[in-house]
Amino acid sequence: MIRDQEGLAALLEDVRVWVREVAIPAEDTVEAQDQVPEELVEDMRRRGFFGWSIPEQYGGAGLTCEELVLAAMELSQAATAFRARVGTNTGIGSEALVADGTEEQKSRYLPALARGEITGCFALTEPEAGSDATALTTSARRDGDHYVLNGTKCYITNAPIAGLFTVMARTDPDNLTAGGISAFLVEAGTPGLSVGPAYKKMGQAGSPVSEVYFEDCRVPAANLIGGVEGQGFVTAMKVLNKQRLHLSALCTGPAMRMLDEALSHASQRRQFGRPVAEFQLVQAMIADMQTEIHAARALILDTARKRDDGGDVKLEASMCKYFASEMCGRVADRAVQIFGGAGYVADYSCIERLYRDVRLFRLYEGTSQIHQLNIAKLTLRQASQRLAR
């Protein structure tokens, strides 16, 4: 749902110009320093990038799902670090609050998240609980007006710079199902909370990811999201269903960028006396890239509109994330092929970096294999329901 076509067009143009004139020229600096320079982070704050999906009443832009994915496709055409820097605030790091937080919790934290004054992160994954999210062992024991958290989280995006952690922990040790899990808001600096050093990763330089440790970490009971125990997994699934749509758009933007880069290179690079763009096998790769990008974009926008209309998009969100992340990997591979040796050498093009950056898309927010299982399960369930009528 697009509420204001003219206003949205202005926002998208602002992001498009910023990406082209500010972010892309800074990509080498981000790669070399392994961080987004603070002056660029401040620029993103001023432009409201951190609050895109946070409701207007809390200082955000209140973008609908359709508006959010369109904006994400523009921002993600720059190096992944830029969208990751704001992405937890405008996605996975604030959505639990938006979806299920109490009014007091929303009023306390969402305005600061929208302004980018604090960075949020979502701490669900553990060393033994990834695809099987219900297997988490981080515990939260009630002690008077507090909960005491103990456990370890891993692969948490923006944890090294986060000011607010959304944490999934088991409040009922006797209930090993999803019903024993609750969600908490933990502020950085809380005694017993510590963060490990940022991982050295294959790609996505400038996007810090690390482990998070809880050792007798005392969290006020008022920071139990929604004020109700046992609802944490339900909250996590709400977060992930929207985030999978958001991430699908964030997979599509880099693919669009790589196609543009490949078209430019193929038009200028000459072999056998003519541009390589005139060779039919190169044209076949271009056709496949263009077709898959359009298919992903159409699927994402259709699903975003359905979600905005109040529809259940569990199946479609899973299909979006699966298809868009796999599509982006195929586009990256073809882009390297079109560039030839220049696509493998960092000195000559951005393609080498983008190829490494986008590999992670097929792993987080559910691996491709988990989404295949989820899509099949939901499809079979729908078929069974039809047959039972």
Q: Which residues are catalytic?
A: 365
Q: What is the Cα 215 distance to its own chain's centre?
A: 28
**What is the Cα 39 distance to its own chain's centre?**
23
Residue with token string 């620029």: 43
Asked if residues 113 and 107 have their Cβ atoms less than 8 Å apart, the reply is: no
DSSP state of 201: -
CA distance linking residue 40 with residue 195, whole number of Å:
24
Closest CA to 87 of 120, 39, 41: 120
User: Which residues are registered as beta bridge partners of 186?
Assistant: 165
Give the relative orientation of helices 280-308 and 65-75 as an angle to the nearest 10 degrees. 150
Please list, in sequence order, all residues whose beta carbon lies within 8 angstroms of the beta carbon of residue 247, skipping any fewer than 6 positions away: 91, 321, 324, 325, 361, 364, 365
DSSP E strands: which ranges in 144-250?
146-157, 164-170, 181-187, 193-195, 209-220
- Burial of 102 per CB tally in 10 Å (0-12, 13-18, 19+): middle
**How many beta carbons lie within 10 A of that of residue 179, not counting itself?**
16
